[in-house]
Structure 1
Amino acid sequence: MIGVLVTFAQTDKYDRSTLAKIAGELRGPFEGMAGLRFKSFMLDEDGGQAKNFYVWDDEDKARAFFTEELVEKVTGIYGVPPKIEYFDIVGFVDNAGI
């Protein structure tokens, strides 16, 4: 498994309700997406960074998803280009079935 952290940092604070609306509008295409186990839309404590975290089954699918076109699209949505970081997930706890 691979984790991907996508960070959008700006000098102004993000509005929580605006980000919640974005999350609601964008969640549909991710539901049932092949190879994607998990995606979250997040806002840091001080509101200066919006972050999206993905868990993918394999690295090839993760890297194939983040195309130049996608980066341009999300830059338009969030107002700044993202920083994309990849992480090797060496352990995972899933309590969804409990």
Structure 2
Amino acid sequence: MITAVTTFKLPKPVTREEARSIFLSTAPLYRDVPGLFRKTYVLSEDGMTAGGIYFWNSRGEAEALYTAAWRARARDKYGADPTVTYFESPVVVDNVAKEINSRDE
């Protein structure tokens, strides 16, 4: 499993309410994306950094999303270039499902 963290250094701070509105406007784009099983939107306490934490089945599926078109859409929406950092996720604790997952790719 792969966790990808995206961040945007915003040109000016946004409030939680402004961020929520922006996030809700883009959330439908992430439904049914192959290999993506969860996305969590994030906003720093000072409102200067926004981003997402994405949970993927594989790195290839993650990389298929973060295209030049995705980056351009993010730049238009947030006024900042995104960064994407990938992490291996060998073990995931899921307290909702009451499971500990350790799937191999």
* Common fold by TM > 0.5: yes
Question: Which consecutive unaligned segments of at least 5 residues does structure 1 have?
Answer: none
Deviations 1:38-88 (A, max 9, x none): 101110112110021100000100011100111011110011001111111
Following superposition, the deviation at residue 90 of structure 1 comes to 1.9
2:2 is equivalent to residue 2 of structure 1? yes
CA distance in 2, matches of 1:83, 1:48: 14
Q: After TM superposition, which residue ranges in structure 1, 4 or more long, deviate above 3 angstroms?
A: none
Contact persistence 2:36–2:56 (CA under 8 A): yes
- SS state of the match for residue 27, structure 1? helix
Contact persistence 2:10–2:78 (CA under 8 A): no
2:64 is equivalent to residue 64 of structure 1? yes
CA distance in 1, matches of 2:33, 2:83: 22
Deviations 1:7-46 (A, max 9, x none): 0013521222121011111111222322101101110112
Contact persistence 2:11–2:79 (CA under 8 A): no
CA distance in 2, matches of 1:78, 1:21: 12
Q: Which residue of 2 aligns with 1:36?
A: 36
- Count residues in correspondence: 98
Q: Alpha carbon RMSD of aligned pairs, Å?
A: 1.4
2:79 is equivalent to residue 79 of structure 1? yes
Question: Which consecutive unaligned segments of at least 5 residues does structure 2 have?
Answer: 99-105
TM-score scaled by length of structure 2: 0.85
Q: Percent identity?
A: 28
